[in-house]
Amino acid sequence: MLNKEIPYKIYLEESEMPTAWLNLRAFMDKKPAPLLSPATLKPITHEELSKVFCAELARQELDDTTKYIEIPKEIRDFYKMYRPAPLVRAYCLEKALQTPAKIYYKFEGNNTSGSHKLNSAIAQAYYAKEQGLKGVTTETGAGQWGTALSMACSYFGLDCKVFMVKCSYEQKPFRREVMRTYGANVTPSPSMTTEVGKKINAEFPGTTGSLGCAISEAVEAATSLDGYRYVLGSVLNQVLLHQSVIGLETKTALDKYGITADIIIGCAGGGSNLGGLISPFMVEKMQGKKDYQIIAVEPASCPTLTRGVYAYDFCDTGKVCPLAKMYTLGSGYIPSSSHSGGLRYHGMTTTLSELKDQGLMEARSVEQTEVFKAATTFARVEGILPAPESAHAIKVAVDEALKCKETGEEKTIVFGLTGTGYFDMYAYQKYNDGVMSDYIPTDAEIKKSTDKLPKI
Amino acid sequence: MLNKEIPYKIYLEESEMPTAWLNLRAFMDKKPAPLLSPATLKPITHEELSKVFCAELARQELDDTTKYIEIPKEIRDFYKMYRPAPLVRAYCLEKALQTPAKIYYKFEGNNTSGSHKLNSAIAQAYYAKEQGLKGVTTETGAGQWGTALSMACSYFGLDCKVFMVKCSYEQKPFRREVMRTYGANVTPSPSMTTEVGKKINAEFPGTTGSLGCAISEAVEAATSLDGYRYVLGSVLNQVLLHQSVIGLETKTALDKYGITADIIIGCAGGGSNLGGLISPFMVEKMQGKKDYQIIAVEPASCPTLTRGVYAYDFCDTGKVCPLAKMYTLGSGYIPSSSHSGGLRYHGMTTTLSELKDQGLMEARSVEQTEVFKAATTFARVEGILPAPESAHAIKVAVDEALKCKETGEEKTIVFGLTGTGYFDMYAYQKYNDGVMSDYIPTDAEIKKSTDKLPKI
């Protein structure tokens, strides 16, 4: 297939789709530090994790030795409904930038959840069903993960209880209605259905909620209801494992046409998309086969990898979840209001944190207005209106392509386009109206938050 | 390729994509009746049409003899950004219905405009650019066509002026913002920028507008501005021509796997999607090669083909556009409020009207609540949340598949899934809340409207 003309979109055949997920940690000589139990501060056990998560998912969470884990047929069948995702050659963007660089993006937005989140949601729903559970609980902010999980649960006939941050529930009714259309039970958080919700409502009457509170409610609901477990859409090792389908498909598509990437770029919030995208490339890099430049892009308002510290921290504000060693701004860090809800997490998945620490990956932070400028350019020439999160990767891909224009280098740039922005039009409106603001935290603000990290 | 296992999604190679549009009228022995000039009531001339439309589009509008018209390379390149659209085997829907029928759908929603409208928008923008025009004007209701046109104009660097019905402009801001993101100038109609807008605002202070009024403003703007023409997203012959890519791709995909359709189903408002989808199949049917059953589906609230009369009528409420012989409920017919804005047109494109009259095509009307029920079933099992318009076709496809379940027939059903419902969540909310209503006009209401048809 070498030297074949590259089409605008490379679609794999069904027979070329991955049959096993890639477990990146299993390839690492120095593994990410283990998760710690919040009760004992010792490495968390399968038994402890299984109280909150499905047994098989708890197993995957702790497995850092099995290199490939077979994708069950039921999940592969579901993947066939919306995958393979196209690897797109950005001919029009290249032309608009007048760059000699060759730009490709892996587009994960061609499904109703609008993002890559579905890749893990269907896996988590499957294992819940296999375990004979009645349903799962989760939290959602803007609703992307909640939508994906609702679709997955609907497919397997599982009950799905979503605690949605109250301000989003009221102000962003569209994703709520998508979830309801898929049969999910969507509750504004804080609610009066959990003890923690009642307590918060009593303490802060009229509160519009927070993600931290919604997590606490979802965990309480999962552990107090018979036949339920809690599921989460990012940060976890299991999520990175499931998201490796993104990278595996991308690698297969590139190999099919004899293309070698020079730079691989992805946005990073909790790390689910980036960890999945880079997985097979990072393996080659660690094995010394190819020296890919790998760039994580995060918002300047929440600069976890670029300005955080690498230390053990709580994964949630309520401090009920395990502790992880990761780049963090402190679990009490409250990012300024931003339109990229998916990137407003204080920490970063342990695997990517360790890879960054080992110098195998670099990170950049970018400001919101510049991100929307890149998003608009991209939308106009490539025809896809990107999610604000995804547009962080676009911004850096454009920067790198413009560097090539200066140097004349014909680098091959691959980035992850995680999703569409159809439910983010309020943000685009602010940009269109010229009233979008940027915020960069001061060193003092970050220090104030990271000074409070647990002493471990 | 016969007997090859059918994948969930059939994607054509770029090299298999159509290089020419199919002009269905050119294959008809008895042609549709000609458009008449509203001034002379005689067949409209190219000169008259060229004052409103681009010269080449006016030529295409009148050409009922050229069987295939080459698709210019620039348009084919744009098509490659979001096409070929997948032909999906609805394995999961078949399983859910427990039907022996084989169900396929051609999915046109994988682009930011969210529908098939882009297929004609890009063609119309191209010819405007080729003619050296500065820009185009159009009207939009909910905004699907306006979005598609904005994307197309942005690609060719054309100015795009969209008159958006004021109530939609205010109540449905998301599509408006998509249009603005693509650089379109969106004006709520009636506006104070046209004579007709000023007049309507003076006569009806506080009016929230209508599609008829928006058309009048767009036509006035096009004819009074230097270097502008008016474009329209449905009903016209040129639109059916461009939309033939839907049917051509569908036919190629079926042929590739040795599949023969028995039933072909599409929703019909002005007829752009259905006319495009059926075009190559209708040619075979007219040539006696294959007796496809072809079904147009329309809302019971606007039953043009099922209860209208076949006669000359005005295409717009303002009576400034040409007259067409078509199935019509009368240009003064106001359909009840419905959530399928794209199907609320009083008439039907001339070609489909003539084919219906010749008995080559049948029509069914369905009620809104049943449509949303089918939409929800489909979304849950196939993962795609359909536009309300598209769901009309789903409803009849499901009906036909259930008939096969009764009879045991293994019919192959192909339907057009024109787009996604991401901007229609208010409608889904009404359905989810159980407060959606249906309306079927009485015979007296329809007679009152059709009694006022022009005497020609």
**Tens of pLDDT, residues A102-149:** 999 999 999 999 999 999 999 999 999 999 999 999 999 878 999 999
Neighbouring-strand partners of residue B313: B324
Distances (CA, A) of A417 to A107, A112, A391, A393, B181: 5, 15, 8, 7, 18
Find, among B325, B338, B258, the residue nearest to B298 by Cα.
Answer: B338
- Residues listed for chain A: 456
Place of tokens 């994960």: A108
CA distance A20 to A127: 15
Phi, psi of A189 (to 5 degrees): -115, 135
Sign of CA dihedral B394, B396, B398, B400: negative
Q: For the domain bounded by B9-16+83-114+243-450, which CATH number is listed? A: 3.40.50.1100
Q: Quick check: A321 and A215 in contact, CB under 8 A?
A: yes
CA distance A416 to A394: 8
SS3 percent helix, strand, coil of chain A, rounded to 5, is 45, 15, 40
**Which residues of B are less than 8 Å from A8 in CB distance?**
14, 80-81
What mean pLDDT value characterizes chain A? 94
State whether A177 and B7 contact (CB < 8 Å). no
Q: Which of B425, B426, B436 to mutate to test the interface with A (most CBs of A within 10 A)?
A: B425
Query: In one letter, which amino acid is B286?
Result: M
A420-429 pLDDT tens trace: 999 999 999 9
**Which residues of B are less than 8 Å from A425 in CB distance?**
173-174, 177-178
Half-sphere exposure of B110 (CA within 13 A, CB side): 24
The ipTM assigned to this model is 0.94
Nearest CB to B112; choose among A13, A151, A383: A383
Shortest Cα distance, chain B CAs vs residue A53, angstroms: 25
Residue A341 — very low, low, confident or very high, per pLDDT cuts 50/70/90? confident
Contacts of A116 (CB under 8 A, 6+ apart): A108, A243, A246, A272, A273, A276, A416, A418, A419
Q: Torsion over CA of B268, B269, B275 and B281, rounded to 10 degrees?
A: 0
Residue ranges of alpha helices (H) inside A41-111 are: 46-50, 55-62, 73-82, 91-97
B80-104 pLDDT tens trace: 999 999 999 999 999 999 999 999 9
**Which residues of B are less than 8 Å from A432 in CB distance?**
177, 180-181
Q: Quick check: A416 and A265 in contact, CB under 8 A?
A: yes
CA distance B169 to B165: 6
Nearest CB to B182; choose among A13, A154, A380: A380
Is A92 near chain B, with CB under 8 Å? yes
Contacts of A387 (CB under 8 A, 6+ apart): A109, A114, A115, A144, A340, A342, A418, A419, A420, A421, A424
Print burial letters for A134-169: b (CB count within 10 Å at least 16), e (below 16): ebbbbbbbbbbbbbbbbbbbbbbebbbbbbbbbebb
CA distance B94 to B370: 19
B285-310 pLDDT tens trace: 999 999 999 999 999 999 999 999 99
Distances (CA, A) of B297 to A257, B118, B208, B339: 43, 22, 29, 15
Domains of chain A by residue range: 9-16+83-114+243-450, 20-70+117-230
| Straight-line distance from the first to the last Cα atom of chain B, in angstroms, rounded to the nearest whole number | 53
Which helix (H) or strand (E) covers residue A451, if one does?
none
Q: Quick check: A386 and A378 in contact, CB under 8 A?
A: yes
pTM of the model: 0.95
Find, among A217, A216, A197, A215, the residue nearest to A207 by Cα.
Answer: A197
pLDDT confidence of residue A317: 72
pLDDT above 70: percentage of residues in chain A: 99
Residue B2 clears pLDDT 70, i.e. is over it: no
Residue B184 clears pLDDT 90, i.e. is over it: yes
For residue A182, the chain B residue with the least C-alpha distance is B380
Is A173 near chain B, with CB under 8 Å? yes
CA distance B216 to B219: 5
Pairing mode, if any, of strands A228-230 and A309-314? unpaired
B354-368 pLDDT tens trace: 999 999 999 999 999
**Which residues of B are less than 8 Å from A114 in CB distance?**
422
**3-class SS at A150?**
helix
Find, among B421, B403, B435, B454, the residue nearest to B103 by Cα.
Answer: B403
**Which residues of B are less than 8 Å from A82 in CB distance?**
383
Q: Quick check: B345 and B301 in contact, CB under 8 A?
A: no
Neighbouring-strand partners of residue B312: B325
Shortest Cα distance, chain A CAs vs residue B272, angstroms: 22
A190 preceded by a cis bond (ω within 30 of 0):
yes
CA distance A263 to A183: 41
Sign of CA dihedral A143, A144, A149, A155: positive
CA distance B117 to B418: 9
**Into which CATH architecture does domain B20-70+117-230 fall?**
3-Layer(aba) Sandwich (3.40)
Would you call A330 exposed, middle or buried from its count of C-beta atoms within 10 A (0-12, 13-18, 19+)?
Answer: buried
DSSP string across A291-323: --EEEEEEETTS-HHHHSEEEEEESSTTS-SPE
Query: In one letter, which amino acid is B326?
Result: M
pLDDT confidence of residue A209: 84
**Which residues of B are less than 8 Å from A154 in CB distance?**
380
Is there a common fold for A9-16+83-114+243-450 and A20-70+117-230?
yes
Structure tokens at B438: 């249906």
B295-350 pLDDT tens trace: 999 999 999 999 999 999 998 777 878 899 999 999 888 777 778 777 888 999 99
Q: Quick check: A212 and A318 in contact, CB under 8 A?
A: yes
Sign of CA dihedral B302, B304, B308, B311: positive
Is A439 near chain B, with CB under 8 Å? no
B49-85 pLDDT tens trace: 999 999 999 999 999 999 999 999 999 999 999 999 9
CA distance A197 to A190: 5
User: What average pLDDT does range A228-251 have in this prediction?
Assistant: 97
Phi, psi of A210 (to 5 degrees): -155, 165
Nearest CB to A383; choose among B8, B81, B92: B81
A275-316 pLDDT tens trace: 999 999 999 999 999 999 999 999 999 999 999 999 999 987
Neighbouring-strand partners of residue A161: A137, A185
